[in-house]
Every structure is written in structure tokens, then in C-alpha cells.
Structure 1
């Protein structure tokens, strides 16, 4: 009897450990998905890409047969019993289906009944839909760059004299704070409402406008220039204070947006008139075509935001087939680090050549292309999502990796050539 009891208790402990591991794995997957949705996911946000991605999923959950064996059900396999058994006396109950499966069970029942009630696609063809999204990205990216330029001039030495190249209050700090604040509004709280009107508009606002309004490469470059001059304390303070301000800006944006939504809901309930009867959805062929033509007329060529949008497909994917480190948004990380490194290299070239034409070309590339390629608003949204997840340490690890890798590469690319060549900073 003692032997049987010890055997049963060991099986119960093993079952509990397996259950704990499964729930922990599901929590991690949920956290990774939340972080991925908080930032950019590139063309995976488009309806056509979502359908193609979802068609290849593998749904897996555990179910128990009558004899107690664990049965694995997947989206592309038959029922197969696994080599795992539960003792009849075990008090461990099977996990509910909604916990063991990260997806709804409705995804399994791809019956003909649901297909016949689906409405046919009435929007643009896939190619034109893709082109329309790219056009809106470029236009909103241009608007983001222009807004960043105006904020630089407004808070810079010429007008308000708040920011400067000589202190840790760098020139792009106001635009990074404003962009992070607006990301809390349009990228977190009201993102779902905007998506119901147009998926392209939601992408253009967050990835295009807010991503181009904020810049990580400009932030990193100013800290590099301070360190090259020997102001290491200012450089460290610039990173710490800058991270605190953009993180607080997105939190402040989320809270104010929630308050505004609460006011709108109260006004709608008091008036008794809802806007549900008005169809604002840009889903018909004529509406989508009209929007694309309008934005084509506004279009100017701006490649940085497109590159970052394509890189955003790497967010939430992890490394390799096993998806290692899924919690790291590698798309945003690569965009910020690569833009910061290229900006450091161009700054070294500008100091070495030291001509008016070179300064004009390099400044245009840095401000336009690299400013749009890197982003602080998306970085702040991902940081905030990680901070509110079950693993808040990931937020600070992600911020440390981004800042340290960008800064160290900048030291090699910019500071060492400046020190060895002895450039004058005056």
C-alpha cells in the first residue's frame, strides 16, 4: 500500500509539474503576442497576410480519452495517444479547453456551414491593397518627419531654447515624448477603433507617422557625440532620463486616452444616439480605390518607414525554427540598431569630408531615411507591454540590449575615428 501511495503521489507531482509547465508556456506565448501587437508586425497586419498565416497554424491541446490516456489533437494530424498516463486516484483534473489551447476551439471547426455564411471579398485585389498600404505608409512617414523637424525648431536654440546639442536634453527629445504620448492614444487605446475604420490607417498612423515622428538613431547619435567630447556623465544621463521620459509619456497617453474614452461613452449613453448605424469602414472597392488615389497624389518617396515595416514582420517570431527569445521584438531591434550604426558612420564621413555639399546630403539621409527607419514610439509601446506582462524584467532587458548594442557599435564607428583623427568639435 505504501508503495502504491508513493507511486501515485509521484505521478501526481509529475502531472502537476507538467500542468504548471504548460500554463507557464501559455503565459509566455500570451505575453509575446501582446508585446508583438503593441508594436509593429509589418505586413502580417494586413487581412490577406493574416489569412495566409492562419492557414498554416498547428493547433495543439491535450484531451483525455475514456481510459485516461492523453490524446494530442492537432490541426493537421489524426488523434494519437501519447506515452503519458494519469493514475486513476489522481486528484489532478484535466485543464479546461480554453486554458490548454491558446486559440479558440472555433478554429477547429472549419465546417462548410461557416464558409457559406462568409461574405465575399469586396475590397481591392491583393496587389493594389499592398500598394495602397505602402503609399499611406510613405505619406504619413513624411508627415512624421516634418512634425519632428518643426518640434526641433520650436524647442531648439532658435526659439524656446529648451533642447541643445551640448546637453543631455537632446534635440529629438520633444518629438520622442510627443510620439510616445500619441502612441498611447492611437497605438494602444484607440487602435482597435481605428482598425475598424481602416487597417491601412491604423498601420499608417502607428508605423508611419508615429514611427517617423520619433527616432532612436538621433537619440543614440547625440549621446555618442557627447561621449566623444568626454561628457560621459551627460551621455549616461541622456539615456536614463530619455528612457524615463518616453516611458512616462506613453503611460500618460494611455491614461488620458482611457479618460477621454470614458467621457465619450458617457456622452453617448446620455444622448442615447449611437454611431453604430453609420458605416465608416473603408472596405468597399470604390472607397479603397479613392483613398489610394488621394494618397498617391500626396506621395513623396520615403524608404525608411517601408524598410522598418518589412522588418517588423520579425517581431514576435523569435530565432530559428524553435522561436528562441520570442519576447524580443527583433524587427524593431534590428531597425533601431542598424539605423543608429549607419547614422554614426555617416557622421564620421561628414566630419572627415567637412564640405557643405556633403553636410547637406548626409543630413538629409540622417534626418529622413534613418530617422524613419528607427523609432522610439514603437520601442516605448513594446517596453510598456513587457513592463505590464508577467515578466516585467524583460522590458529593462530589452531596453538595455537596444541601448548598449547601439551605443557600443557607435563607439566603434564614430567615437574611435573622431578620437584618432583629432577632429575639432567647435
Structure 2
């Protein structure tokens, strides 16, 4: 009996039910996690996709844990052809569970028995084969998942600290001391250069080259986008500078700072995407003649085994220990001075906590409200992180006005710059804004931006501006 006949009889026997349900489940998961927005998808799927344009937090890792996939997300390359979503071959799905069609068919090629016994035996055989090796691989998969999760946290911590340091350097470079392009008394606020640079790089690493980076390491992609760019840019710092302007009576500057700031970061990500596309096109032309060599190089750098994950974790742990050691030593030396250096080193020490909280909150993106999943197009995770950071930053600004001591100023400013600066983000916010603007409902982008800004500024006014006005704090 040839293979096609065997598979046909096997399906007709009904014993294929369990494996077929597994294949169908995997197929649905593959299609639902696709990160490509096709013109053929319905409105609900598009809403979820644009809401997840920036980040989905650790939800991808949990999906990887329960699906048994070896990747943090399933690439759309496997399910999209010419802009049309197509089913994944059933045999390929079964192979991901360690099952082949011929193995399943072979399970029923037994000696002639009664029909009832055949049905019972073949069903049990198929189930046994479908789960064969699972017990031996469960511990390995769990260990790999745990290593990946820890690796993500360490990537976020290391790149988060680097993002804080870069933001500080850009403040000093473009601030009054050197270039003089930004200052605290103008709508050209101190964090504007870092927000623009981070948004530009988000167009490179978070949009155009993100899939290429993920092919080497998913954790590296998360570290660069959520960790580094999310910490390089800060929404709460932007909001607080506008509150400071409004408290001083500079309402025109405050409005201009919001509008011009939004325009500049929105254009920065567009410029980043366009330049990255040009560079990617040039790279494709250059590697055509040496395609095999490039492919081999990619495979050599790919972090796809438990051993390589562990090696990366060890290196990053060393880097994290070094960063914490230097920051802690310098913080102890300069804490009593109350200068900007003391604030910076404290900010570096608390920065990872802000990145981790934002990453956890990002799991809410694309989920909507309630069981019905209302308003899936709103990235609630990013919005909550930005609004929460803006409110806490306003509260700490009020505390500094009340206490007025060197120690309080150092601690509060360090938490504002580090933890809250990393908890909030402009790069992810503007990536979501851009995805909405390019969707079939561009009005959602402006609604989302205005809601985030108005809620943050409104609560900030109540927490910071009103007490300053009523108590006449200087």
C-alpha cells in the first residue's frame, strides 16, 4: 500500500483526530502571531497588529513556552506569500511535534483485527506517537525557556543602563554647556535630541532590520528596541518639562513643545525607516555574489542552542556586574555632593527596574479591554507605562519643591531620570503611532497620541502644577 493510501485510510479511521487538532491549533497560533499586516486581514486583526507594533513584552516568551516553538515568535515569512496569508503545510506542523505522516500511517499497518479493535488500537498508537519523546524533552524545553527568559531580563537591564548613559550624554552635548540647542526654559526641551535619535533608530532596528536581528537573536532584538531605545527616549521627561513651562506661565512654549516634539519624533522614525530601506536594498545587491558566505556567517552567529544562550547570559552578567560596580562606587563617592554625577549613577542603578516593568506591561498591547477585547487598537501597555511614569515623576517634582534638601534632590532626580525615564518611552510610542497612521484607520494614531499626552499632562497638572500654584512653591 503506498503512502497516500495509507494516510487516506488513517484519516478515515478517525485516529488522526488528536494530531489533527494539534496541527489546527498550531496553524491558528502561527497565523495569529504573524507580525505582517496584510490588506486581506480583517479590521480586528489589523487593530491587534498595529497595537503590537512596538512591543508585546513577555507574552511572546510565554507563547513560546506553551507552543513548544524554538523561537520567541513565529516569523511571518512562513505564512505570508505575496501579501496573502496561506496555511502552513500540515506535515511541517506535525514535524514540529516530532511526528511524521508516515509514522502515523504506519501505526495502523498491523495484523487484521476487528474494526472496533483497529479503531481503538490505532487511536492509542497515534496518541502515543504524537507524544513520544515529550517526557524526555519537557525538561530541556523548560530549561531553554527559563534561560531565554533570564537572558531577556539581563539584555533589558544592560541595554537599559546604556540607554540612560546615552540620554545623559545627549543632554550634555545639545544642552546649554556645549551646543546650546536645548534648555529648560524653551520648547526645545533637554530630552528632545535623545527622543529624536531614539525614534530614528527605532525605524532601523525596530522596523526595517528587526527581523534580521531576530534571526541572530530574539533577545538581542528585544534588548536593542525595548531596552536601549526605550530607555534612550523618555515620555515622562518630555511631559515634565512641559509642566515646568506651564507652571512658570509659559503656556505657549508648553503647547509648542508638545506639538513640535510630536512632529519631530514622528518625522524621525519616518526618516529612519526610509534610510534603513535604502541601506537594506544596497546590502542585498552587495551580497548577491557572496550569498553562501553570508548565509554561513549568519548561522555561525545565530543564538539557537541552550549552550549559546548560556554563553550570552554569562557575558551579559559580567557586563551588568561591571556597570553596577562602577555605578555603585561612583555613587558612594559623589552622593553627598548632590551634583549631576550623583544623580546619574543612581539613575543607572534603578534603570533596569523601569525597563522590566515596561516590558511586563507591554503584554497588554493588542489585548483590548475585557473578555470581548474591546479597543484592541489601543496599546494599553505602553499607554499605562507612559501615564504612570509621568504621574510619579510629577509627584517627585512636587516632593522636591517641598523638601528642598540636597539628598532629596539627588534621590528624586535619580529616580526620575533612571527608573521613570526607562519606564516611559517615546520610541515604542512613536512606532505604534506610525503603524496606526499607516493603517486603514489613520485617525487612530492622532487619537492615541492626544489621549496619552492629554491624560499625562492633565494628571501632571493636578499632581504638580496645582500644588505649586496654591502653595506658592518656588
Return the offset for 1:113. 5.1
Q: 1:177-196 maps to which residues of 2 (within 5 A)?
A: 177-196=196-215
1:248 aligns with 2:267: yes
Q: CA deviation at 1:183?
A: 0.2
Q: 2:175 aligns with which of 156, 161, 179?
A: 156
Q: 1:344 — aligned with what?
A: 394
Q: Distance in 2 between matches of 1:123 and 1:270?
A: 41
**Cα distance change on mapping 1:107 and 1:325 into 2, 3 Å:** farther
What is residue 284 of structure 2 aligned with on the other side?
265
Are the structure 2 counterparts of residues 111 and 179 from structure 1 closer, same or farther at C-alpha, using a change threshold of 3 Å? closer
Distance 1:111 1:379, change over 3 A: closer
Distance 1:272 1:115, change over 3 A: closer
The answer to whether structure 1 residue 319 and structure 2 residue 369 are counterparts is yes
Aligned Cα RMSD in Å? 2.6
Q: Note if contact 1:123-1:288 (Cα within 8 Å) is conserved in structure 2.
A: no
CA distance in 2, matches of 1:122, 1:265: 35
Cα distance in structure 1, aligned partners of 2:285 and 2:147: 40
- Distance between the aligned counterparts of 2:263 and 2:142, measured in 1? 43
Q: For residue 50 of structure 2, what is the aligned residue in structure 1?
A: 35
Assess if the C-alpha contact under 8 Å between 1:311 and 1:332 holds in 2.
yes
Pairwise CA distance, 1:277: 2.1
Partner of 2:147: 128
Q: CA deviation at 1:273?
A: 5.2
Shift of 1:262: 0.7
- 1:160-200 Cα deviation digits (max 9, x unpaired): 11101001000000000000000000000000000000110
The answer to whether the Cα contact below 8 Å between 1:123 and 1:283 also exists between their aligned partners in 2 is no
- Greater helix fraction, Structure 1 or Structure 2: 2
TM-aligned CA deviation for residue 129 of structure 1? 2.1
Moved over 4 A (4+): 23-26, 107-114, 117-124, 270-274
Asked if 1:379 corresponds to 2:429, the answer is yes
Q: 1:140 aligns with which of 159, 171, 182?
A: 159
TM superposition shift of 1:111: 6.6
Return the TM-score normalized by structure 2. Answer: 0.71
| Aligned-pair CA distance for 1:124 | 4.9
Tell me the CA shift for residue 54 of structure 1.
Answer: 9.5
Matches of 1:198 and 1:338, distance apart in 2: 31
Relative distance call for 1:412 and 1:235 in structure 2 (3 A) is same
TM-score when scaled to structure 1? 0.79
Secondary structure of the residue aligned to 1:323 is coil
Q: Classify 1:112/1:219 alpha carbon distance in 2 versus 1 (closer, same or farther; 3 Å).
A: closer
Q: Which ranges in structure 2 are unaligned for 5 or more consecutive residues?
A: 1-37, 70-79, 101-132, 325-348
> Relative to 1, partners in 2 of residues 1:163 and 1:105: Cα closer, same or farther, differing over 3 Å?
same
Match of 1:49 among 23, 38, 63: 63
Report if aligned partners of 2:68, 2:141 keep a CA contact under 8 Å in 1.
no
Change (3 A) 1:284 1:108: closer
When residues 162 and 114 of structure 1 are mapped into structure 2, their CA distance, relative to the original with a 3 A threshold, is: closer
Matches of residues 206-355 of structure 1 in structure 2 within 5 Å? 206-270=225-289, 274-278=293-297, 279=299, 280-299=301-320, 300=324, 301=349, 302-355=352-405
